[in-house]
Structure 1
Amino acid sequence: MTPAEYQALTSPRLSHPARSLYLLYLRHQARGDETQPLDYPSLGRALAVQGEGEYRYRVTPAGLTELIDELQQAGLLVLQQRAHPQHYHGARFRLELKRLQGLTPLPARQFAMHPDWRPDEQLDGLARLCGLLDSRYDDTELGEFIAYWLGRPEVFENQHQWMLRFVRQLKKQRALRRDTNPAPATGYQQQAAPTSTDTGPSKRAREMMEEAQRLRDEQQESHDEKDT
């Protein structure tokens, strides 16, 4: 499973039957990143839960159509060919997020934010997946992100999750810039995007990081004094 699939499948908006349909049947039976023509009777049998002489869970054809609609809305399926306008029996789909094999696998280790944290080379692919077409950033944006989370040492995330938080911050900041600095009505001029730099955070960002670290140290010293 790719990180993109994992992110979509763990969304609280996706129902458990839809997750089961994708993982246990559609993905398992797919050839590469495309499904076989969907067969509603087979899908129904794959999802059915049978008890003692009766079914404890069965899905109707209309229910199957709703589950497939869920998977499309989550970005997991993209319709390639449809035989009937009212249902998906016989239809083919592309497993869109399975194609994103290049993203870094989800690491098991989680860690608190630290001053040396940096996004890795997979940031661009993750940003595009989240709707941010330009993933370039400057040292102030990075420094503010690090400084903010240095002040919350109780938060542990893995690398993928930290990058996802960073992408969301970039999207929010750029949306605010567009709201406060609208483009002139008399013409269009593309605003240069901030460029990534490897020189580290700016002076202002370093000061914020140092202040967050100082507050964190004071909290730790206060905690140690109470323990003694």
Structure 2
Amino acid sequence: MTPAEYQALTSPKLSHPARSLYQLYLQHQARGDQTQALDYPVLGKALAVQGEGEYRYRVTPAILTQLIEELLAVGLLSLVENPHPQHYHGAIFSLPLKRLQGLSPLPARQFAMHPQWRPDDQFEGLARLCGLLDSHIDETELGEFIAYWLGRPEVFENQHQWMLKLVRKLKNQRSIKRAPAPQTDAGYQQLPAKTDSGPSKRAQQMMAEAQRLNADNQEDCASDEKDS
């Protein structure tokens, strides 16, 4: 099985019967990278599940057509010849992903987090690839990461995926660090200096009114002295 086939077979779009049809029959019986002409009765019998004289799972022609269309949708099959447009009985398919050899190794087995987990020697390169230039991690950061995922034993990832989660955690932690506020030499936060903007507009109006009234009173006093 090539890595491309493995990736397509693990697609959530595929049902388990579709995976079984590809792995146990179409791939196994293929001639090179092409299937033999499909025989619906033979396929139905191969996929059927029988127990104590009766079928617990029976594959009808309609179900077979649906399973083949699932495999077409994820790229595991490509139609070469089909004498019956309504179904795929007698059709021949190519297996395009079977030709894609050597693209990458198959993904490692997935596992739950455990106390002895450590990133491997690929971690620095992965961190740099993800934009984390400082890939140093101390025991506190690593311990927090392991402790968090120990509490979620239902999560299974392979080694590469666990290291990618760790890189993302470090990036998030280090990106939220803010620059410290400006401080004085004494270490206290420096507050903006108050500026002397002078009397407010309202105060200036009141002062002008008081000066006007004072001037009027002086004029009245002068008039009274002349009259007397």
TM bin, normalised by shorter chain, reads: 0.5 to 0.7
Whole-Å separation in 2 of the counterparts to 1:71 and 1:6: 13
1:84 pairs with 2:63: no
Residue identity over aligned pairs, in percent, reads 63
RMSD: 3.7
Whether the aligned pair in 1 keeps the contact of 2:108 and 2:158 (CA below 8 Å) is: no
Aligned to 2:131: 144
Pick closer, same or farther for the CA change 1:145–1:3 going to 2, 3 Å: farther
| Secondary structure of 1:144 counterpart | coil
Pick closer, same or farther for the CA change 1:109–1:70 going to 2, 3 Å: closer
Pick closer, same or farther for the CA change 1:158–1:91 going to 2, 3 Å: farther
Pick closer, same or farther for the CA change 1:54–1:99 going to 2, 3 Å: same
Aligned to 1:95: 95
Query: What is the aligned counterpart of 2:125 among 113, 117, 125?
Result: 117
Cα deviations by residue, 1:185-204 (Å, 9 ceiling, x for unpaired): xxxxxxxxxxxxxxxxxxxx
Aligned to 2:32: 32
Pick closer, same or farther for the CA change 1:157–1:52 going to 2, 3 Å: closer
Whether the aligned pair in 2 keeps the contact of 1:117 and 1:146 (CA below 8 Å) is: no
TM-score under structure 2 length normalisation: 0.54
Q: Give the total of aligned pairs.
A: 149
Structure 1's unaligned 5+ residue stretches are: 120-138, 166-207, 213-228
| Secondary structure of 1:80 counterpart | strand
Q: Which structure has the bigger radius of gyration?
A: 2
Whole-Å separation in 1 of the counterparts to 2:12 and 2:37: 28
Deviation at 1:158, TM superposition (A): 4.2
Deviation at 1:82, TM superposition (A): 0.7
* Letter aligned with residue 131 of structure 2: E
Pick closer, same or farther for the CA change 1:107–1:72 going to 2, 3 Å: closer
TM-score under structure 1 length normalisation: 0.54
Deviation at 1:11, TM superposition (A): 1.6
* Letter aligned with residue 93 of structure 1: F
Whether the aligned pair in 1 keeps the contact of 2:50 and 2:56 (CA below 8 Å) is: yes
Pick closer, same or farther for the CA change 1:51–1:104 going to 2, 3 Å: same
| Secondary structure of 2:125 counterpart | coil
Whether the aligned pair in 2 keeps the contact of 1:115 and 1:146 (CA below 8 Å) is: no
List aligned pairs for 1:33-72, cutoff 5 A.
33-72=33-72
